[in-house]
Structure 1
Amino acid sequence: MHHSIRKSLALVPFALVVLAPAARGGASDALPPAVRDAKAQLLSQFFAQGGASPAVLEYRRKLGEYQAARAAFDEEAGAYWSQISEKRKTRNAKRRSGQQITLDDYVLEHPPLYNGPKRPVNPEPEETPERPTKKPIPVVADLLRAAQELYQFAPQRPSSEVEFKRAYARYALASGLTREQAVRVYSFETGGTGSYDVQAGIEHGGKRAISTAMGYNQLLTTNSVELLAEQGHEFIRVLSDKVARTSGPARQSLEHKLVVLKKMVAHAKSVPDTWSEHEKIGNTAQGWAMHAMVLDIDVGPMLQTHKLLTSVLFARAKGYTRPLSAAELEMMNLTGDGTGLDMVTMPQAMREQVPTSNFFQRGGYERNPVAIRHNTVAKLLAVTDTRMDSNGNNAGARELAGAF
């Protein structure tokens, strides 16, 4: 800012020399009044604009155009997304009272998308506010370190990828998932190539984690904490049964794992059973240690299974008895059970007409090119199926299918 002020002040004397009338008695006394007025007007504009350069003036003009266009768009979009929110509240209320949902309960127009001018680049240096440093996203090494430091525990890693796939297949089938659901969701979530410890961002040549999503069904740290809180009793029961069937050194290792699992479950249950509370734990070393259980050959398959099974059970509890297709299950997995079931229970004729925007918040929708391009429920389910079909031909998907 000081730099631009100095620049303006430095230009003023030159402007005065150029624009000021010559001394009385000089040749300029003979200048026509129109010329003198033009000079005076130019000098007035110069001071009004703070001595700005043509580039800065052009930037200000474009900035004004951008701000006007953006304000008009935000007003239109704000009204649209308010309507989306109100319709969602109406649907939820009707479901609670057992009333039928109709087309009138959805917004049937597609949302406005901004297509005005882009924000121009300021040719002058600007002071940018300091942004808080982002916390690094934990990776496998961090999870293992947290588990060791807090619980003196190291997950039992599988001897091979196929060993983990077989353990997952056995538990998934026994729990009520179908082969089609498990394999096709895996194909969608990992591209049909993911390993049991694959992490979002560190795949297909990626070098940097973009989230804590891990494994076949891409559990976040918060998912692991939540499943330990809500399904921990089941995990403890299954592991206790295995301990009872085991002897020797292997039993000692399992007994220690069971003790650790019970401690983790107790901690996960120590807070209210809400996503926000589980997320708070998930963002700590305690949550990282819990997330390390995704890597364990005994507990990991149970976590991956229940990530999907909770959606299946939720649908049944709401009276939806038809088996979920893999694409329908993925919608619940991606958007949450309540929102996903809204799409799942919709008749095909309505799916063809209802925009996907009805199931998103504004920010999430505007950052989701898939939902924008495939902008009805039917189109979104169709592209999900297509991707599952394509990725299902990859080696990891074929290996998982063979494990069932």
Structure 2
Amino acid sequence: MTAGDLSALVQQFLLFHGARYTSRADEENWKTVPVTLQVPPQPIEALQLAAGPWVVVPWRLAGADHLQVWLERLAASGSRPRVLVLAQDRALLAEHHVLQLATAHRLDIVALCADPPGVTGTAQAALVAHAFDADMQRSMASCNPLVHLAATGDARDPQVFLERLRHAAPQVPVTRSMTGINVLVYAAMVFAAAARPEGGLWSTVAGGFGTGQLVAWGANATGHMAAEPWRLLTSAFLHGNLLHIAMNLLALWQLGAMAERLLGSRAFGAAYLLSALGGAVASFGWHALQGGPSVSVGASGAVFGVLGATVGFALARRDTIPSHVYRALLRSGGMFVLINVGLGLAVPVIDNAAHLGGLVTGTAAGAALSRELPPGPQPQLGTQAAIAVGFLLVLGIVFRVALGLAG
């Protein structure tokens, strides 16, 4: 294992437990220069990590003299780290030199040895990190937490970030609930249609529902909206056929879990419903401008809003997430939108207005409802409720304007 590998693992471990880079330059250049991370206070019974600035050096120093010079330069720059983490051969850094430097500069020095095997010093001054497979971790049950890093590679890899996010927020109840509600509504529609004299279970599943059935269940229908505005929400839980619901729920399942973990379940639920309303209002307004009757159903506006909420979070919390993850979110989000808008232009029955309305609403809601990642402080319920009410007022105004256009 190289010094760079060890540095990546240490940074990953600290980020997992709430640390943040102290500057954008450190985050961008974490592989090539010593980087500083601010480690938050940890419960003593949990980790016993020293709170304060930690400097992680991603390369091996030539020896104690080199380390002394480097520390003096660090002090001259005004940086006073609490802990210095080195990837260092024990033969090049004697224990008495480590202790002298630690005393002189008032910091703790952790020396990680990249060579196998064996503990090479006191618990404070040195740790062994030569193997990270599951068997070795089990055999090191009593070692310092730094030894228990998983071999996931690059600490800035988006996949590593997602693994940390899954660990911090393992449950996604709103994503599961929204998926379940859509399935239950579709099943109820299928069995209700199959019970009709002209119906049949398999013919309903294969052929889907007619316009009259969708309107009866609460579709977004231009001729009904003035008297029945609740259709803006109910239409987001209706689907025209099996393929329609399958595509929407597959996208919801893939996008929703990460968005819910980023925003928190309460904020994610609000963003989902607001996006559903935003998509329905946009669809109604667009068809009102066209001047003809229309019937629109589907969760796709909400699904686009889920994507938008993720992007909105990334834009609002640029300093919270790694730059590689930030760019990956924007890249994948842009591709998703371009592909689906292209499909909408090619297939007339696809409601691009609902997609874009949900996307814009979700992006704004995701930014407004964004939070610090755990274990940072989370927004109060009252604050989130006020934001949601503000969005509802704006959507209500847009809907009233659209009603005027519909005449």
Q: TM-score, normalised by structure 1?
A: 0.24
* Structure whose residues are more often helix by fraction: 1
Structure 1 or 2: more strand by fraction: 2
What TM-score do the two structures reach when normalised by structure 2? 0.24
**Structure of higher RCO (CA pairs closer than 8 Å, 6+ residues apart):** 1
